[in-house]
Amino acid sequence: MQSKKNNMTGQLYVVATPIGNLGDISQRAKETLEKVDLIAAEDTRHTGKLLAHLGIKKPMQSLHAHNERARTEKLIDLLQTGGSVALVSDAGTPLISDPGFPLIRAAQKADIKIIPIPGPSAVIAALSVAGLPCDRFIFEGFLPAKSKARLAQLKTLTTETRTLVFYESPHRIEQTITDMLAVFGAEREAVIARELTKTFEQIKQASLAELQAWLQDSENHRRGEFVVLVKGREEKQPATEPEINQLLKILLEELPVKQAAKIAAKLSGESKNKLYELALNFRQKDDR
């Protein structure tokens, strides 16, 4: 029963499209858009322009935040009767701060084959040129629009040591950098990647204070689309053995062994028991 159904089902392609420069469309993305029965697009007019550029004529259906639950059912029906569908968003990779999540979940549940056609995504493009550590990073997408909620969200990230990546719109970029400055400090290193792959592309790397001034400097700096990257908090360097010894000796001049060991453990991150033993040794040597 299951295998018969599988033989009949079509395939769902999740197709990345350019984030500005149409030359970034991949050969495989083009071929996929050409061969599917239907394209589910975030905005059919927007995708219509891309298809016109590629010389592709194909039926489209919109799938956006306001209709995706209802549309998902219809798309699953089509897929279950053997139709193939390409999911695209206005720019970049679908589902990355874009619609499509309910469709993928429903397709998984219906045992429909889902095939990624990878390509551009602003988060990855920005990371690749930011000059910030990107072996480990966290993607936070868009911050809340309201200032109080935005600050609260940023505060949850104060101890994060991985590079932080955010999407931001032109009318909130200035306020967001100001809020980041308040939470992470003026000196924290950050990058604004603006208008990636487009004519006025800029990658500006500086401290948050300098970025705030840069945005205030020119209206042009506040135009377009933005990825904001913030360096994670510096990992605390573990104290070296001579540093720990010195710290303990200083504390022992003023405090009993137990208390000195406790404070030294807190400051150095070393184990309290180990430092207690060490402190006892130091005290015994001093007493001799």
The SS3 of residue 140 is strand
- Out of 11, 72, 84, 89, the residue judged to bind ligand SAM by CB under 6 A: 89
- Out of 19, 41, 130, 251, the residue judged to bind ligand SAM by CB under 6 A: 19
- Out of 103, 177, 227, 248, the residue judged to bind ligand SAM by CB under 6 A: 227
What's the order of all strands across the beta sheet hosting 11-15? 60-62, 38-41, 85-88, 11-15, 113-117
- Out of 225, 244, 261, 268, the residue judged to bind ligand SAM by CB under 6 A: 225
Q: Measured from the CB of residue 67, what is the shortest distance to ligand SAM in angstroms?
A: 16
The SS3 of residue 214 is helix
Q: What residue has token string 């949850």?
A: 156
Q: Measured from the CB of residue 253, what is the shortest distance to ligand SAM in angstroms?
A: 55
Number of residues near ligand SAM (by CB under 6 A)? 23
Binding to ligand SAM (CB under 6 A) within 151-170 occurs at: 167-169
Separation of alpha carbons 226 and 201, rounded Å: 10
- Host H or E run for residue 142: strand 137-142
- Out of 25, 86, 91, 130, the residue judged to bind ligand SAM by CB under 6 A: 91
Asked whether position 276 contacts ligand SAM by CB under 6 A, the answer is no
Q: What residue has token string 């309290």?
A: 272
Q: SS3 sequence, 92-122?
A: ECCCCCCCCHHHHHHHHHCCCEEEEECCCCH
Contact window for ligand SAM (CB under 6 A) among 86-94, 131-139, 257-265, 271-279: 86-94
- Out of 122, 130, 190, 247, the residue judged to bind ligand SAM by CB under 6 A: 122
Distance of CA 113 to the CA centre of its chain: 26
Q: Measured from the CB of residue 45, what is the shortest distance to ligand SAM in angstroms?
A: 16
Q: Which residue, 240, 284, 241, 239, is CA-closest to 266?
A: 239
Give the CB-nearest residue to ligand SAM.
92
User: Measured at the alpha carbon of residue 189, what is the angle toward residues 188 and 192, in degrees to the nearest 5?
Assistant: 125
- Out of 51, 117, 183, 193, the residue judged to bind ligand SAM by CB under 6 A: 193
Asked whether position 97 contacts ligand SAM by CB under 6 A, the answer is yes
DSSP state of 73: H
Site residues, ligand SAM (CB under 6 A): 19-20, 89, 91-93, 96-98, 121-123, 167-169, 193, 195-198, 225-227
